[in-house]
Amino acid sequence: MRFMLIGAVVALLAAGNANAGCKSDLLSVSDWSVTVNAEEEAEVAVTLASSFKKPTRMIDASVVFEDTLGQRIGQVPADSDESLAVGASFDAHGSFSGTKLDRAAKLARNDVKVTTCVRGVVYEDGTKEEFK
C-alpha cells in the first residue's frame, strides 16, 4: 500500500503543468481550423509565425487547444525541420484520431484558445536552446 501511494505521488509530481518547460511567445498562431472528416478524424491546420530573433533550422513545438474554461481539448505537433527566416510563417497540419480535437470543430471559435509550446530550437548558426 505504501508503494502505491508513493507511486501515485511521484506520478502527480512528474505530470506537473502540461506546458512546463515551454516558451509560448516564440511562435504565434496566425490562423487555425479543425474539421472532422468522413473517417471521424480531426483535420487540423494551423499557420504559425516565428518570433525567433535568429533564423532557425529545427523547432520542437506543439500547438495546444483549450476551451474558454481552460480545459485541454488537445495538442498537435508543430515541429519544423526546415529553415525558417526571422518573422517567417509556416503551416502545421495533420489528421488525428482518438483525440478530443473534434470538440474544437464543434465549439464556437471564440470559445477555443489556441497557443504554442516551444520546447527547443536549433538556429541556423548551430546554437541550440531548450526550454525545460
- All structural domains of the chain, each given as residue ranges with its CATH number in brackets, are 19-130 (2.60.40)
> What are the Cα distances from residue 70, in Å, to 5, 17, 36, 111, 112?
28, 13, 22, 10, 9
pLDDT at position 129 is 96
pLDDT digits (tens, 9 = 90+) for 2-45: 333 333 333 333 333 455 689 999 999 999 999 999 888 999 99
